[in-house]
Amino acid sequence: MFEAFQVPGGVLIYGIPEFRLPKAIVAAEVDYMKKLGVKFECDTVVGATVSVDELFEQGYDAVYIGVGAGLPVFMHIPGENLIGVYSANEYLTRSNLMKAYLFPEYDTPIIRGKNVVVFGAGNVAMDSARTALRLGADQVRIIYRRSREEMPARIEEIHHAEEEGVEFHLLAAPLNFIGDGDGRLAGVRCQRMELGEPDESGRRRPVPIEGSSSYFDRCRCKSTSNQKNA
Ligand SMILES: Cc1cc2nc3c(=O)[nH]c(=O)nc-3n(C[C@H](O)[C@H](O)[C@H](O)COP(=O)(O)OP(=O)(O)OC[C@H]3O[C@@H](n4cnc5c(N)ncnc54)[C@H](O)[C@@H]3O)c2cc1C
């Protein structure tokens, strides 16, 4: 088994935090596979370190490609390049795999925001929000463009996030990130949404409510219209 990272386990190691899935459990599974005869070659990016054709030339009869879905999906809104905006993938990898919470003992730094906003409401969002709390955030908000019923996260993950103090702001979506003039994130402007007809996923489509922007900055959230706060 060829693995690009320095340890095998994929998302179970680099994405899902220790508090939800202890790494020792994944390591035990890997050890078990080793006992069954699986050989692991880490730090090997198939397609760069070695090609699939080369693997066949080396004598392998079959190649199974199980590379996961590791690339983040961005929202393509202004300000995404500001310092302080992370994809969940990068944020969780820094924290989990690279042990950024132990910086400078470990080499990888991470921004420890005091006021953190997470967009989306799947398991990845819940893990990111709960990680932010553990990294010392005073306030963590999940902003989701649909309603609670459409949240894709498992119910227990939502409950755990709520129990730990994560706030949920539903029917709101980001419009743009705002910089402080020095390349760093200072706020995010959001828009209130309402639910329309179901889309191809079967979930009701979020539709923007025109003229209903809200502004989240480092210390507060305020409405800039006569609409209810997001
Ligand atoms: C934060 C988070 C929370 C989640 N929570 C849940 C949950 O609660 N319940 C649930 O059911 N699912 C959850 N998921 C989804 C679940 O973890 C994934 O669906 C699952 O781990 C995918 O497994 P996989 O083996 O297909 O891919 P991955 O786990 O991504 O493994 C792919 C591996 O391939 C390696 N790789 C990629 N490209 C190359 C290459 N070119 N050469 C060599 N190696 C390469 C990667 O480094 C990685 O180790 C979560 C995902 C995330 C990110």
Which tens digit of pLDDT belongs to each residue from 209-221? 988 776 665 545 5
What is the distance of C-alpha 11 from the center of its chain?
11
- For the chain, list the domains and their CATH numbers: 11-57 (no CATH), 88-223 (3.50.50.60)
Q: Which atom of ligand 1 is nearest to the CA of 46?
A: 42
pLDDT tens digits, one per residue of 99-150: 999 999 999 999 999 999 999 999 999 999 999 999 999 999 999 999 999 9
Q: Which atom of ligand 1 is nearest to the CA of 5?
A: 47
**Helix/strand/coil (H/E/C) assignment for every residue in 108-122:** CCCCCCCEEEEECCC
Closest CA to 222 of 183, 181, 188: 188
Q: What is the mean pLDDT of residues 183-198?
A: 93
Q: Which atom of ligand 1 is nearest to the CA of 157?
A: 8
What was the pLDDT predicted at 218? 54
Residue nearest to atom 2 of ligand 1 (CA): 124
Are 17 and 131 in contact by the 8 Å Cβ rule? The answer is yes
- The span from the CA of 150 to the CA of 6, in Å, is 37
pLDDT band at 195 (very low <50, low <70, confident <90, very high): very high
Closest CA to 123 of 206, 15, 200: 15
Q: What is the mean pLDDT of residues 152-177?
A: 96
pLDDT tens digits, one per residue of 24-64: 999 999 999 999 999 999 999 999 999 999 999 999 999 99
Q: Measured from the CB, is residue 145 less than 6 Å from ligand 1?
A: no
Q: Measured from the CB, is residue 16 less than 6 Å from ligand 1?
A: yes
Residue nearest to atom 53 of ligand 1 (CA): 15
Q: Measured from the CB, is residue 10 less than 6 Å from ligand 1?
A: yes
Q: Which atom of ligand 1 is nearest to the CA of 47?
A: 41
Are 207 and 200 in contact by the 8 Å Cβ rule? The answer is no
Q: Is 95 helix (H, G, I), strand (E, B) or coil?
A: helix
Is a pLDDT exceeding 70 seen at residue 228?
no
Q: Provide the token pair at 109.
A: 């730094």
Kindly report the CA angle at 112 between 108 and 114, in degrees rounded to 5? 175
